[in-house]
Each structure stands twice: as structure tokens, then as C-alpha cells.
Amino acid sequence: MEQQNIAVGLDIGTTKIVAMVGRYNEYGKMEVLGIGKSKSLGVHRGVVNNITQTIQSIQQAIQESESAAGIKIEDVTVGIAGQHIRSLQHSDYIVRNDSEEVIDGADIENLCNQVHKLVMLPGEEILHVLPQEYKVDGQAEINEPIGMYGGRLEANFHVVVGQITSIRNIGRCVKSSGLQLSGITLEPLASANAVLSQEEKEAGVALIDIGGGTTDLAIFKDGIIRHTAVIPFGGNVVTEDIKEGCSIIEKQAELLKVKFGSAWPGENKDNEIVSIPGLRGREPKEISLKNLSKIIHARVVEIIELVFQEVKNYGHESTKKQLIAGIVLTGGGAQLKHLKQLVEYITGMDTRIGYPNEHLAGDSDPETTSPLYATAVGLVMDNLEAKKRLEEETKVDDEVEQSLEKETAKASEIADENEIEEPQAPSRPISAPKKGMLERWADKFKEFLDNAE
């Protein structure tokens, strides 16, 4: 099996760690070759709080996926999330030395580098600088300024900030597990790539990824990410409430939530009862499903209202008018019964559950198309896309080299025929592959991790 066509995504979550191995088939759809899953023991609300346990959980998930896929995993793309992530809007500009020359990629990079110099709170680092609209000499609403003339280039930016120690700890866990870090992606972006269509991103959509420890939000409009946020509550707090409210152990509370839980109390009748086995010879405990739903409903409403407040904070116009495609729910928490109806009731916006099946091959295991694996699918896709771009750029450079060799050979023949001094090979520079914003950021971060060791 060709290793270079295979990619691995590692989703380090609060409740689970998923390692997914995948590749593109001949139709451009992603085939899942293997999945490894382990209980996440050293992560709390997306932040590593026990290095040793996290390394063990990563190794367990990797070994499981290696056995399923029949390959040796060497490098992974990792998702970054957690309660330490925050975002802000910022505007900046540069004055170009020569307005008679057209704007190129170097000018945009200079502008982005200037944003990276913003002063952050102690211990925080700018992770991500995403340009929104540009202005050239005051002319607004420019999506792509490359090739235009202008002296002053300015842009609005979406800046993502995080605690550098938290991110460095994730990097250390991956390296200590014997893996190379081939890429880093913000988890809300990975989930969005897996479950959103381009039309939804253009029309305006809010992606809500409900995980175990956190709920991630990503808002898109006109095909560009406009806002990201991490709410430090997820499925775990719902389980904790059931545990406290019903006086049962955590394992039983989680099972109750998954098997009988509902976000809408009106669905359950008063006489619907579930019996929980007692501990060590004690009497079984009877729990009313209506009461269970009331406990779940109270906490889920709180989480949705916190997320909806973030959605309303985006933009000054009516949110409903701006986000035509409404809300897409994904992540393990999106599997809760009647959650879609509750979100529609609270927000008044069209809502659907996001499954990563659009990009997966038709014969995929039904388990892999679950919202639970949306982030892992997105991470594998990001890794595959990066490898594909690198392959295409290498191919272009090889073609340029071959054409230069042909020209040199032809020039040598002419020189031999005319018995003149043999000319030198044409000194046409081979352009270095251009990297995207995400790849440049990942390279800088990997360099930072290496220097920190």
C-alpha cells in the first residue's frame, strides 16, 4: 500500500481520542482504511492536564488504527481546540514602496506578518491570521487583491489566539508518542470541511460542534470564516448533571444519556421508568425518563443560549438575514434526541445535523458517517489536500526542470554545429511552491515546538 497517498488525522478530545487513516479513491471520495478510538484520560475541556495519560491514550488509538488499516503510522495531522482558544477582529494596513508595481503574495504576507506582531495577553500567542476583505487605496470589498495596482493595502482579519503552553503540551504528547506532526488544524475548521457544503459557506452558516468538554462554533459567510469561539461546556456537563440529579455513578449517567436521553421533556410520559442496577447488592434504582429529560433540557438550553449569544455577537445586522443556511450541528453531542428541534425553537433558525458522509466513499461503514467522527474526517481531508498540493507543486517543478534540460541540450547542439562556445543553461528560476496561510502557520508552529524542546 502506497504510504504517500495515505493520511492520518488525530482528534484529541476530552472524552475520546480518535486516530483515523484514510485516502482518496479514484472518484475523489475519502476511503476510511481504519479507525482507532481510546478513552481520553488526560484532557479536560480540550486542554491536556496529564501528559503521561494522554500519551498512553494516543498510543492506544494509533495502535488500534494501525491494526485496522494494516500500515505503520509515522505522521499525523492534529486538531487544536480547547477553552483557551479565543478570536478577535482586527484591521491593519501597509504602505507599499512602489505603487507602480502590482500587488503580489509577498505584500499579503507582509500584511499578515504585521498582524502577528500584535501584543497579546501574557502567555498567549497568535495562532491564526485569516484575511477577510481587502481594501486597495480605499477601494473596499476586494476579495483577491493580487495583480492590482495600489500604494496602500489594508484588510480586516479574523485572528485566533490561544495559550501557547496548552498547544505546546499537545505537540509534546504527539512527539512523545513516536509520531511526527505533519500539520495542525483548528478543530472547528476541520469539522466545517467535513460537514459543510461550499453553498452553505457562501450563503452564511453557523457550525456548532458539540464535543465532550467544549462546544466549538465557526461562522462562515461569502465562503470565508468570519467568527470562531469555544464554549467551555459540552456533553460532559450534561452527564455530570444526570449523575448528581439521579444519584448514580458516571458510567450509568452516560449510558442513560445515550440510550434514553432527550432534549425535549414533553416527549416522555410520566409513567416511563428505567431501572438502574444497584451497587454491590443494593436495590435497583428507578428513574423517571421525564425527570431525566428535564435535567438534560436545562443544561442543553444553557449551552445553546451561550452559543447563540456568540452567533448574535457576530455582525451588526439581523443574524437570520446574514446566515441564510442557518445552523449545522455536529460532534458527539449532536446525536442527542430532539436536539435539532430544541435549537430551532431557541434560535428561530433552520437547523440540520451535519454528517461527514458527503466526502466519504459510498461503501463506508455507517459508524464512520456519524457526527462523532466529523472532526477526524476533516483532519484526514486536510492532510490529504496538503499532500496533494505538494505532489502537484513538485510535478510542476519537475516539468520546469525537464524543459530547462531540453533547452540546454538544444543549445549545446547548436553550439556544436556552429563551433562556438557552449552556452550556459538558461538561468530561469524555479519558483518555490507557494504555501497556503494554514500551511505557513503550521510550519511556524512546528518550528516553535522544535525550538522549545
User: Residues 297-338: pLDDT tens digits?
Assistant: 999 999 999 999 989 887 645 666 678 899 999 999 999 999
Does 86-165 match 235-299 in CATH topology? no
Is pTM beyond 0.85? Reply is no
Out of 112-121, 131-140, 382-391, pick the least confident: 382-391
pLDDT surpasses 80 at 445: no
CATH of domain 235-299: 3.30.420.40
CATH of domain 86-165: 3.30.1490.110
User: Residues 364-377: pLDDT tens digits?
Assistant: 777 788 899 999 99
Out of 72-81, 92-101, 263-272, pick the least confident: 263-272
Distance of CA 418 to the CA centre of its chain: 62
User: Residues 381-397: pLDDT tens digits?
Assistant: 988 888 887 777 777 66
pLDDT surpasses 90 at 2: no
pLDDT surpasses 80 at 426: no
Out of 96-110, 308-322, 426-440, pick the least confident: 426-440
- 93, 111 contact by CB (below 8 A): yes
pLDDT at 3: 59
User: Residues 138-159: pLDDT tens digits?
Assistant: 888 888 899 999 999 999 998 8
Q: Say how far apart CA 13 and CA 195 lie, in whole Å.
A: 18
Angle at 173 between CA 434 and CA 20, to 5 degrees: 65
The residue extents of the domains of the chain are 86-165, 235-299
pLDDT at 430: 44
Residues with Cβ within 8 Å of 202's Cβ and at least 6 positions away in sequence, in order, are 222, 223
Out of 65-79, 149-163, 307-321, 421-435, pick the least confident: 421-435
C-alpha cell at 264: 425535549
Q: Say how far apart CA 215 and CA 341 lie, in whole Å.
A: 18
pLDDT at 80: 83
User: Residues 198-214: pLDDT tens digits?
Assistant: 999 999 999 999 998 88
Out of 3-7, 21-25, 309-313, 399-403, pick the least confident: 399-403
Residues in the chain: 453
- Alpha-carbon dihedral angle through residues 20, 21, 24, 27, given to the nearest 10 degrees: -70
pLDDT surpasses 70 at 450: no
pLDDT at 304: 95
User: Residues 217-235: pLDDT tens digits?
Assistant: 999 988 888 888 888 899 9
Percent of the chain with pLDDT over 90: 41
Three-state secondary structure along 130-182?
EEEEEEECCEEEECCCCCCECCEEEEEEEEEEEEHHHHHHHHHHHHHCCCEEE
Pairing of strands 180-186, 285-288: unpaired
Residues facing 128 on adjacent strands: 160
Under the banding of pLDDT at 50, 70 and 90, the label for residue 433 is: very low
* Residue 443, φ and ψ in degrees, nearest 5: -60, -45
- 23, 384 contact by CB (below 8 A): yes
